[in-house]
Each structure stands twice: as C-alpha cells, then as structure tokens.
Amino acid sequence: MRKLILLTILSLLLISCKNDNNKNPGLENSDQLDLTEVYPDDQYICDFINQMIDKKFQIIYYDFEDTVYLHQSSFTGFEEQFGNQLRTLSGIVDLQKSNTRLTESDRFPVEKILSEEDFQIIRKQAKQSYIFKDFCLSDRINLQNNTISNFEEENDDVEFRIVTFLNISKPAFVQDGRFAFIFLVYETGFGKMVSGSSWAALYENQNGEWNKCFAIELAMF
C-alpha cells in the first residue's frame, strides 16, 4: 500500500513538472501571433519618412515646398477608396500593368518582389492606425491634424502661399524590414485651389538608404 502511494505521488510530481516546463507566459497564445511580421520602432519609421520626403518620394511629378505638412494620423482609408483593386497582390499587378504614368524604373514586375503572403501582411499593417512622432521627424515636416482645405483659416501667415500636404499610411515592412510599402495622398495648393494625387509605392532598404522600387498612381484630383 505504501509503495502504491509513493508511486502515485511521484507520478503527480512528474506531471506537474512537465506542465510547468511547457508553460511560457509570453507564448501561451502563440497560435495568435504572426511571427512573419516586422514591428519596427518609431525611429525606424521616422527615418524612412524623413528620407522619402527629402527625395520627394522619388516620384518625378512632385515639387515639394521647403516645409511639408503631414497628417499626424496615418491614412487608413485606402481600401474604402479603391476597393477590390487593393485586396490581393493580383490587383496591384493589374494596376501596374495598366498605369500609363510609370517611369521605366517602375516597370519591374511587382510579383517578382512581393508574394501574396507579403501583400496580405502589407494590407494588415497599413490598415493599422498610427500617430507619427514629431521628436524624430525632420525639422521641415510640420505635423497637422486638419486638412489643406481649412488650413488657411487657422494659418493666416500662409495665405496665398502654395503648401504641400501629405497623408501617409503607416509604412508596412516585409521580408525582415527590407521592403517598405506605403499608400500616399499628396495635395498641393491653397484655399479651394487644390490638386493632388494618390499613390501606392514600394521601397527597398539598401544599406540604410531607402530607394524606390515602384510607385503606382491610383487617382488624380
């Protein structure tokens, strides 16, 4: 009888140790984690934005003013505006093939760079709301919460001066941070004299320097 009790106690202790070893508080819900995503810090995002604004996003149609006004909240409404075109990689492929304003450097096939899995990660990240951080942005970037249409009413000193307004999605990073994808709304003008365009663009990090792979114009207004 005593031997049976001892065996029972030992069995319970072994089971308890096994359960404790299997426990990891940080990974208890690991099935819910997407380990393929890259979660960059604010500085990484700011470095990307600073470079792209200095390079005018490498889109030749832009002529930025010395001071660029950037919406502080990231742009998350791209799917509402462009619908099914931006739900799968094939939509981007079709847009690239049909876009008449691409430069020669933009014609490298997107499907040679991104996989469908990459693009779904991009969609998920770009839809996340993000607040751009002033402390690590260039001095020439002025964060704003309003729009260009009511900007004059609150800033009398810029009346009749052309201004550049940008609304950018949270940069989506894939392939271990090598590529960054953004949706961009560009507006320029003053008062009711406003024009602009919206874009989807992919950039590659080459030894710390971001360079454009392609930029596809989605709309003009």
Strands (E), 92-208: 141-144, 163-168, 172-174, 179-190, 193-206
Domain ranges in the chain are 41-220
Q: Write the pLDDT tens digit of every residue in 141-169.
A: 989 887 665 665 555 555 556 778 899 99
Q: Write the pLDDT tens digit of every residue in 172-188.
A: 999 999 999 999 998 88
Q: Write the pLDDT tens digit of every residue in 99-143.
A: 877 777 787 888 999 999 999 999 999 999 999 988 889 999 989
* Helices then strands, each counted (H, E), the chain: 6, 7
Residue 71: which of 141, 5, 198, 167 has the closest Cα?
A: 167
10 pLDDT band, cuts 50/70/90, is very low
- pLDDT (mean) for 199-215: 93
Task: Provide the percentage of residues in the chain whose pLDDT is more than 70.
Answer: 73
Q: Does an H or E element contain 15, and which?
A: helix 2-22
Backbone angles phi, psi at 74, to 5 degrees: -65, 155
